[in-house]
Amino acid sequence: MLPTAADAISRDGKALILAYDHGLEHGPVDFDPNPDTADPERVFELATHDAVTAIAVQKGLAEAYYPDYEDAASLLLKMNGTSNLWMGEPNTPVNCSPEYAASLGADAVGFTLYGGSNNEIGMAEEFRDIHEGARDHDMGVVMWAYPRGQGVRNETDDRTIAYAARIAHELGADIAKVKYPGSPDAMSETVRMAGRTDVVMSGGSKTNDESFLRTVESAMNAGASGLAVGRNVFQRDDPVAILDALELVVFEGASTEEALAE
């Protein structure tokens, strides 16, 4: 099979993206369950685990820490992002250019598009520039496809999530990152709507090991290409143990029971 732009942050067509932009998106509250993880160094160390195919961070963390880890992990540079202090209609500024992302060693870029927001038009235009700039620098493109705002009644509705995946496909993303739409059938419909764009599941807020792994297993069985996960890894007391289990489920097709028995 020919290499694709998604291969830059995948292995054998599967991706486990360690997302760590929460300090910007949610604030210090996300570090409370595991206070050491406020130190980015601790999370970059987790990204050296064999299961992790890329770490997703904003420009500031990439500048400060990625030079020490570039041999161990691929970089997915998140290009936009906003704080939880913003109270307006969903929107997010572009914080980095494709040229600058490439100069930091990014293998791929990430971009949040809030379909259904009153700001969707401007965000889609920004995505066009990011996407074409990424292509100029041979970087993959991941869309955080998050319907949200005045046009969206229920952002976790299965048809809404399938639509989000389709938007990512139509606009040229290599990977669409979506919330789990609630059932294997809905996930497989989301994957179908994404066409040749790979679909990864968003980790979401922390749940227990069994429930989290079951959701990941069900997403993989429905055709997802992996996941992008933050809190369900770094908020755990033993993040390495859940990465070990995820490696089995995502890359080796293990069941939740098998992964938990290891």
Report, as residue numbers or ranges, the catalytic residues: 177
| Closer residue to ligand FBP (CB): 6 or 229 | 229
Nearer to ligand FBP, 22 or 169 (CB): 22
Choice between 92 and 188, CB closer to ligand FBP = 92
Quick note: the x/- pattern for ligand FBP over 148-167, rule CB under 6 A, is --------------------
Question: Minimal CA–CA distance to 13: which of 53, 46, 50, 42?
Answer: 53
**Which residue number has the CB closest to ligand FBP?**
203
Tokens standing for 74?
A: 């691929």
Cross-strand partners of 94: 80
Binder among 8, 9, 18, 25 for ligand FBP (CB under 6 A)? 25
Least CB distance from residue 18 to ligand FBP, whole Å?
9
- Closer CB to ligand FBP, 22 or 49, in the complex: 22
CB of 118 to ligand FBP, least distance (A): 17
Q: Does 105 bind ligand FBP (CB under 6 A)?
A: no
**Residues 219-258 close enough to bind ligand FBP by CB under 6 A:** 228-232
Residue span 174-203 as binding mask against ligand FBP, x where in contact by CB under 6 A, dash where not: ----------------------------xx
Q: What are phi and psi of 110, to 5 degrees?
A: -120, 145
DSSP assignments along 182-193, one per residue:
SSHHHHHHHHHH
Residue 201: its H or E element: strand 198-202
- Alpha helices per DSSP H over 11-138: 22-25, 40-46, 59-65, 98-103, 120-136
Least distance from ligand FBP to the Cβ atom of residue 164, Å: 12
Does residue 21 bind ligand FBP (CB under 6 A)?
Answer: yes
Instruction: Provide, rounded to whole angstroms, the least separation between the CB of residue 174 and ligand FBP.
Output: 17
CA dihedral 9, 162, 204, 252 (to 10 degrees): -50
Nearest-approach distance from CB 26 to ligand FBP, in angstroms: 6
Please say which residue, 36 or 138, places its beta carbon nearer to ligand FBP. Answer: 36
The answer for 152, left when phi > 0, alpha when psi is -120 to 50, beta otherwise, is beta
CA distance 75 to 20: 11
* Burial class (CB within 10 angstroms; exposed 0-12, middle 13-18, buried 19+) of 105: middle
Interface with ligand FBP (CB under 6 A), residue from 66, 111, 114, 144: 144
Is 204 a residue that touches ligand FBP (CB under 6 A)? yes
C-alpha distances in Å from residue 245, one per residue of 213, 233, 250? 8, 11, 9
Residues making contact with ligand FBP (CB under 6 A): 19, 21-22, 25, 144, 202-204, 228-232
